[in-house]
Amino acid sequence: MTTLRFLDPDGSRYGLPTYPWGMAWTTAEDMATRKQLAAMGLRPGSTHPDAQLMWRSRRARNGVRTAALYRISEAKPKDEFTAARARGLAAAMRARRTCPTCRQVFVYVIPTSLGECPACHEGGTPEAWELEAAA
């Protein structure tokens, strides 16, 4: 059987648990390719694949093609780094909207020409509508 030729769940033949194409979804439920993980908003939890898919291909030099499989249970969220960067960016923007004199947070960026909010610059108190809390 050509299919069973590629079935090696304990990796004794190929050095990595191996499943034939089309059979992995019933045999290895916790496994997905990098592309499938990405579709779920995930990325591989390890740099080394946990298993592989193997199928016959006339285009491949040795007649066999493989695709790396990763454990879905060990996958990490794809957007982890982006979310952290977004938080950092939001904090930086908030700092630019905070008056260094009165420490109030405004809806607009503090003018660098003034170095503080117009109210502090004029010696008055900020209008309520200018404050973030009122926005």
- Contact residues: Zn ion, CB under 5 A: 99, 101-102, 116-117, 120
Q: Which is nearer to Zn ion, 53 or 99 (CB)?
A: 99
Neighbours of 44 (CB within 10 A): 21
Q: Which is nearer to Zn ion, 24 or 99 (CB)?
A: 99
The DSSP annotation for 39-66 comes to HTTEE-SSSS-SEEEEEE-SSSTTSEEE
Q: Which is nearer to Zn ion, 116 or 131 (CB)?
A: 116
Min CB(125)–Zn ion separation in Å: 9
The helix/strand/coil state of 68 is strand
Min CB(126)–Zn ion separation in Å: 6
Q: H or E element: which one contains 67?
A: strand 64-71
Min CB(38)–Zn ion separation in Å: 46
Q: Which is nearer to Zn ion, 38 or 102 (CB)?
A: 102
Q: Which is nearer to Zn ion, 72 or 99 (CB)?
A: 99
Long-range interactions of 21-30: CB distance < 8 A, separation 24+: 21/53, 21/54, 21/55, 22/55, 24/51, 24/53, 24/69, 28/69, 30/71, 30/72, 30/73
Taken as a whole, the chain contains a residue count of: 135
Min CB(107)–Zn ion separation in Å: 13
Min CB(91)–Zn ion separation in Å: 19
